[in-house]
């Protein structure tokens, strides 16, 4: 029996983040989009988010079968594939939309996210882990050309470790 749950992460360019999660056994589907900013928009597009004025992060929203993969494993993939110590940037991508952020959908996810961040902080020592942990809000699905970008283009992901 499939037990569907949802997870949402921002870790820089959403193309690369999505490609990481697409490969995991137990992930049912992914969508890239925007979350964490002004929710008064009816629709939101990439150009608006890139102005850094909407407050949104580029995110991947994951539907997963929690009987096959747990949230802890998703958090592990999140932490291991970006730099959580850089404020509002990942590699060459700079701006609030590229921030490191975990959007939790349940209190259980919030608790697991906080614990995992504390564990990662111990690993980094004095270098501050700046990842935000925020209650999930309105998800704006990105334009179709952004969905499964690397897969559509037939190229290997280049924007994450």
pLDDT in tens, 73-118: 999 999 999 999 999 999 888 999 999 999 999 999 999 999 999 9
pLDDT band at 4 (very low <50, low <70, confident <90, very high): very high
Lowest mean pLDDT among 64-78, 94-108, 139-153: 139-153
Of 7, 10, 11, 13, the catalytic one is 13
Q: Is 13 a catalytic residue?
A: yes
Q: State the pTM of this model.
A: 0.93
Domains of the chain (ranges plus CATH)?
Answer: 4-153 (3.30.1060.10)
Burial class (CB in 10 A: 0-12, 13-18, 19+), 24: middle
- Cβ pair 112, 120 in contact under 8 A: no
């Amino acid at each position: 029996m499939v037990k569907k749950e949802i997870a949402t992460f921002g870790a820089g360019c959403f193309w690369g983040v999505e490609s990481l999660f697409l490969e995991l056994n137990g992930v049912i589907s992914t969508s890239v989009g925007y979350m964490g900013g002004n929710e008064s928009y009816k629709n939101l597009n990439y150009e608006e988010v890139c102005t850094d004025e909407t407050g949104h992060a580029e995110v991947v929203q994951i539907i997963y079968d929690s009987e096959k993969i747990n949230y802890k494993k998703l958090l592990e993939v999140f932490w291991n594939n970006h730099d959580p110590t850089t404020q509002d940037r990942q590699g060459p991508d700079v701006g609030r939309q590229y921030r490191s952020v975990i959007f939790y959908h349940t209190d259980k996810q919030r608790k697991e996210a906080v614990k995992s961040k504390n564990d990662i902080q111990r690993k980094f020592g004095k270098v501050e882990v700046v990842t935000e942990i925020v209650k999930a809000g309105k998800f704006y699905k990105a334009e179709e050309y952004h969905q499964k970008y690397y897969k559509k283009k037939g190229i290997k992901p280049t924007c994450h470790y």
